[in-house]
Structure 1
Amino acid sequence: MLDILAAASGAAPPPSWVSWLPIVGMIAIFWFLIIRPQMRQHKAHQEKVSGLKRGDQVVTAGGLVGKIVKVEDDYVQIELAKGMTVKAVRNTIGDVIPPAGAKAAND
């Protein structure tokens, strides 16, 4: 019995870097599951907003649907109805609606 106790107490403790492995693993998981997809989504939105042009049909972040009448540096003027235009911040454009005659990408 004493031999087992002496062998167990003589074992070397694990290296100090082993205690950091769970933290590094959680950071890696957090990066690949949350931060990286969010960065891709932000980049795609920025490309979409930078490519806005007159005549595009858009949806704002507030849910308004209209056609772009004028594009400025930070703002766009959107025609919601005949003769009714609003000025919106360019970054609040949520999506660009494809034209009605265009085929879907998966068809």
Structure 2
Amino acid sequence: MDFLISPAFAQAAGAPAASPWSPLIMMLVFVAVFFLFVIRPQMKRAKEHRALVSAIAKGDEVVTNAGILGRVDEVGETFLGIEIATGVVIKVQKNAVAAVLPKGTLKSA
């Protein structure tokens, strides 16, 4: 009677269960990559900007985040007086300074 009923065979064993540590390891890898490529460079830039702002002195030529070019006329705790034209001094926050330019940049601009 084997010709009317097909024989039943056992199925192959299923895939082994995944390790319970796999998701944790993947999360740690993602956090490490995020730290190395996003957080660490941002912290480095912030540290460099703090050093730049703390080193500003009277007579330095600076450019602000708004693109204003001028010479530092006075330095306060949180504000700078920047001379943008002869006799025209504006006050900006120290953190608004984007870069300190080399001496003589204002004459060439």
The TM-score, its normalising length taken from structure 2, stands at: 0.80
Give distance in 1, aligned partners of 2:38 and 2:90: 35
Q: Partner of 1:74 in structure 2?
A: 78
Unaligned runs of 5+ in 2: 1-8
Could you tell me the percent identity over the aligned residues? 31
Unaligned runs of 5+ in 1: 102-107
| Displacement after TM superposition at 1:12 (Å) | 5.2
Q: What is the root-mean-square deviation in Å for CA atoms of aligned residues?
A: 1.8
Q: Partner of 1:104 in structure 2?
A: none
| Displacement after TM superposition at 1:28 (Å) | 1.1
Report the secondary structure of 1:28's partner residue: helix
* Deviation string, structure 1 residues 3-61 (Cα, Å, up to 9, x no partner): x73xx35x752331112222221111111111100100000000000011000000001
Higher-helix-fraction structure: 1
Which 4+ residue blocks in structure 1 deviate beyond 6 angstroms?
none
Give distance in 2, aligned partners of 1:19 and 1:89: 46
The answer to whether the aligner puts 1:83 opposite 2:87 as a matched pair is yes
